[in-house]
Structure 1
């Protein structure tokens, strides 16, 4: 059975893909005599040589999957990939409205698997997991040879079942056994608030991805903003990698008149199919959305479905685009289920803006270019190393950049721990009221991360958002 679904989503890690028509019958079952995997003799010849003469035994299923992945390398398209059964399930889950798990972010640092932070109200928080907890064993088994993806998959499981983890807690210098119940947790992609500026009320709405339930979240959020008196709307798509095509169509439909062409699909032969705004049977948007002033914030992390929306608003002069040029992904992927339980994700169409522009590799240019505060560009992360004067490491450079962004005098940001860095570390630790020391250690990095996150939450420090607020205030006062 085959099923297709369109997806616009940027995947920066390049994976391989397979073509189902070339390798059929991929059940992994051998026929009598030699294994037959396809109607192409050369493939069967290679399969049988490996199986019959290879010194390293390999299951036929893995050979088939390897062939599927290898075909994608020839395509040369980073968005066309082959997903195994497990990878396909994870891909679907990433855009689902809820996720089964324990609600904790896990990272890999210096070969260790570390809890970054438990989600508030999640099973992991209730079980007492804390930032910097190192996962040593899962269900009694060590993590030797596991990748980060392997560890995440082992933690996840069926709803209502428990996972037992042995964790090492640095501040206690001891191992602790923790049992966490897996639960279904809703995944929110929309956040909204009203920002009041000198008598004007501006709706500010952020969208992290165009997931399965994002349009419903958008409906609820925008209706609330209007009830609270919002006179204009700022849409924040910074860092939004994309998502489902039908979702971006629904959201665009809240802002544009019915029967408006918001994009075009172009097939392999070059034929164009218009994507038209249609009245939704399931969604009820406030009519004021279609007439209120709109500004859209984007950056180089805004891709695919995000660019469909920004391209439409720009071409149709429905919104003012601010920030920086977007990522530049102008293809659409189709998912097809394969007989082995995996999926083949293939770029099957280009998408074009209402003015029939293909933005692939170029991105959507902002109407007003606004560079962001440097402290918003640097990603915060967990660091487990300890560094002092004379050290040279990328973790030191990370700390130097954040200190500089917070206003501390750091002579360099290249990762060399010099005297000026020592003085900056001492000053920061004093201001943060943590243990006095000259080192960059776990206490220092934790306090630094918290300080930066608090800084970012204050809208006054967001240069791009402040420019959008100023623009909207000007627009409202001109009415």
Structure 2
């Protein structure tokens, strides 16, 4: 302000009185204006940071010979990727439906576990009492066609070829070693959350239950099995949770409630906000056995670990196998307006003694490993291999040969003379050209026979160790 300028004098005369309604109206208008500015400001800010970028790129981005991506989908995928959480996913409506059906154990299919190949699928497991097992399909088989249509992962996945058209008979083309088989199989609604039967170990009988998931009706199905065992006066129980990746928390509680006495803390869900949810056993009737065992492995996860932890800590179950997966967090689902489903992590869970298994898993009472074909081993190779060749594919070949009992003398990726001899022995035994060279087709047979080998009961060291325990009772 310049020296010549004068400050305005403050008017000290009384202000004219305003009507109360006018004052209230002014306040309301001010509040509305403030609210609108806040809403618009928030919207503008969001638009500036996200929507404006998307809008600009959708309108003006161009690149020769490239299609514009789905910006909204990419943004959502980016959000989920930024979480670095392997358990948070956004499913399309059809993917979400398929996921929930698989968790429930109720699906349309033939009862098959498989891994896709470039052409066809490699059978990992034919589920007990399922249509595939009844049709004679074995682990290690390669299914190449359904009703004469070639199976390809991208254009004609086996799941779609089997289920298109609903229930009914399908004709499968199956490669088993060097044989090409035609197999008729029935596609139908399956409830494959568990399988049970009475088995023997020496002169001892025991009830065996294989639980593949913790679905909505698993507790009810397990109780039917337990009741059947009791009617046959079975007093030894085995629950097989190997390769069971989990399911619903409520299903785990229902299973535990069949064994654990009233009032015991089964597990705790801790969302991290200080408000824990504690799950306790109810007063319903319980099932008790003189001896109880759980078979577990590195794929026993989530709800399976919840059940295993509580049964071992509260119901005297012994764990047999290898360290479990170590998934100590839980997810929930939210259906979005377009029918897609967001599955996201919201809490961790704690065992009855307050431990968290995340990243650690449960340690068995009796540790026994089974032969395995690692997840990192590819199902095909890019080239043929012979003596003096060096590469990861040679190392995979050597690992498979060693698993089958051949003697490659090393597994470091150098194709030695001993590796050639081991390959030649394998080829000769399975009717292949015995040249000692690992060709594309030789490797495919090697993978198939390895799957068959590790899936056979004779090579299930964990189950055999369990039988020895039961025989000694």
Q: Is the 8 A contact 1:160 1:182 kept in 2?
A: no
Q: Is the 8 A contact 1:65 1:84 kept in 2?
A: no
**Which whole-Å CA distance do the structure 2 matches of 1:465 and 1:166 have between them?**
32
Q: CA deviation at 1:235?
A: 2.1
**Which whole-Å CA distance do the structure 1 matches of 2:460 and 2:185 have between them?**
38
**Which whole-Å CA distance do the structure 2 matches of 1:395 and 1:137 have between them?**
34
- CA offsets, 1:248-306, max 9 Å, x none? 112212222233321111223122221122367xxxx8x5x324321222222211111
Q: 1:135 to 1:386 in 2, by over 3 A?
A: farther
**Which whole-Å CA distance do the structure 1 matches of 2:174 and 2:453 have between them?**
28
Q: CA deviation at 1:320?
A: 1.9
**Which whole-Å CA distance do the structure 2 matches of 1:168 and 1:316 have between them?**
47
1:372 to 2:369 alignment:
yes
Which secondary structure does the structure 1 equivalent of 2:364 belong to? Answer: coil
- CA offsets, 1:445-467, max 9 Å, x none? 537734762564235x4333333
Q: Match of 2:92? A: 84
Which secondary structure does the structure 1 equivalent of 2:342 belong to? Answer: strand
Q: Match of 1:6? A: none
Which secondary structure does the structure 2 equivalent of 1:290 belong to? Answer: coil
Q: Match of 2:448? A: 449
| Structure 1 length-normalised TM | 0.71
**Which whole-Å CA distance do the structure 1 matches of 2:199 and 2:149 have between them?**
47
Q: Match of 2:464? A: 466
**Which whole-Å CA distance do the structure 2 matches of 1:169 and 1:291 have between them?**
44
**Which whole-Å CA distance do the structure 1 matches of 2:227 and 2:265 have between them?**
24
**Greater Rg by CA:** 2
Gaps of 5+ in 1: 1-36
**Which whole-Å CA distance do the structure 2 matches of 1:103 and 1:326 have between them?**
25
Report the more deviating stretch, 248-257 or 383-392: 383-392
Q: CA deviation at 1:423?
A: 1.9
Q: Match of 1:389? A: 386
Q: Is the 8 A contact 2:93 2:341 kept in 1?
A: yes
Q: Is the 8 A contact 1:242 1:306 kept in 2?
A: yes
Q: CA deviation at 1:333?
A: 0.7
| Structure 2 length-normalised TM | 0.72
Q: Is the 8 A contact 2:403 2:450 kept in 1?
A: no
1:73 to 2:81 alignment:
yes
**Which whole-Å CA distance do the structure 1 matches of 2:404 and 2:149 have between them?**
42
Q: CA deviation at 1:133?
A: 5.6
Q: CA deviation at 1:91?
A: 1.6
- CA offsets, 1:378-398, max 9 Å, x none? 469854777452344545434
Q: CA deviation at 1:372?
A: 0.8
Gaps of 5+ in 2: 1-42
Of structures 1 and 2, the one with the larger relative CO (CA 8 A, separation 6+) is: 1
Q: 1:101 to 1:470 in 2, by over 3 A?
A: closer
**Which whole-Å CA distance do the structure 2 matches of 1:215 and 1:38 have between them?**
51
**Which whole-Å CA distance do the structure 2 matches of 1:206 and 1:169 have between them?**
28
Q: 1:162 to 1:319 in 2, by over 3 A?
A: closer
**Which whole-Å CA distance do the structure 1 matches of 2:220 and 2:272 have between them?**
33
Q: 2:193 aligns with which of 189, 195, 214?
A: 189
Q: Match of 2:29? A: none
Q: 2:122 aligns with which of 100, 116, 120?
A: 116
- RMSD, matched Cα: 4.5
Q: Match of 2:409? A: 411
| Equivalent pairs, count | 418
Q: Is the 8 A contact 1:325 1:363 kept in 2?
A: yes
**Which whole-Å CA distance do the structure 2 matches of 1:210 and 1:87 have between them?**
19
Q: Give the alignment of 1:304-383 within 5 angstroms.
A: 304-316=302-314, 318-368=316-366, 370-373=367-370, 375-376=371-372, 378=374, 382-383=379-380
Q: Give the alignment of 1:34-433 within 5 angstroms.
A: 40-42=46-48, 43-55=50-62, 58=68, 62-101=70-109, 107-109=115-117, 112-117=118-123, 121=131, 131-132=141-142, 134=144, 147=154, 151=157, 154-155=160-161, 158-160=164-166, 183-278=187-282, 289-316=287-314, 318-368=316-366, 370-373=367-370, 375-376=371-372, 378=374, 382-383=379-380, 387-390=384-387, 391-392=389-390, 394-432=392-430
**Which whole-Å CA distance do the structure 1 matches of 2:186 and 2:466 have between them?**
41
**Which whole-Å CA distance do the structure 1 matches of 2:363 and 2:174 have between them?**
48
Q: CA deviation at 1:309?
A: 0.9
